[in-house]
Amino acid sequence: MTSSPVALLCCLTIPVLTLFAYVYWAKMTRRTLPHWRNALGLVAMLVVSSEWLLHTLAWAFYSLGIEMRALDTLKTVLDFGIYFTPLGMVASVFLRGFPRLLIIATWLLMAVFVGHFYIA
């Protein structure tokens, strides 16, 4: 793993963008969308938040020198990146307006954040 400033910036920016997308969605666009689009938008936000949390925990545990057997087991059992990440990316398209742009930007930042761990 790496301690690049870009990875740190992405790590801090991802939850902020997700929070802004959720607040804007809840206040402005939720009432105008059908229920199924609202559900898919929430799935996109939940998946990106979960993916961020798993990678951030792995980064923190690795930096502190803590054994990650439980986290590795969880990643292996869920295979989160393989099954849920494409679902979250596709579900973000069903949002409308500014929340859609924020979640798509969050997915791009997530790709940069995760990519830093595999380059090193």
Q: pLDDT, tens digit, for every residue of 50-86?
A: 889 888 888 887 778 777 676 676 666 556 677 788 8
pTM to 2 decimal places = 0.84
Amino acid at 78: L
The pLDDT, as a whole number, for residue 72 is 72
Q: How far apart are CA 19 and CA 78, in angstroms?
A: 25
What are the residue ranges spanned by the domains of the chain?
5-119
The pLDDT, as a whole number, for residue 78 is 59
What confidence category does residue 2 fall into, taking pLDDT thresholds of 50, 70 and 90? low
For the chain, list the strands marked E by DSSP: none
Instruction: Please compute the mean of the pLDDT values over residues 84-98 and round it to a whole number.
Output: 88
Asked whether residue 119 carries a pLDDT value surpassing 90, the answer given is no
Tokens 């793993």, residue?
1
Q: 40 φ, ψ to 5°? A: -65, -35
Q: What mean pLDDT value characterizes the chain?
A: 85
96: region left, alpha or beta (phi > 0 left; psi from -120 to 50 alpha): beta
Cα 39 to chain centroid distance, Å, stands at: 16
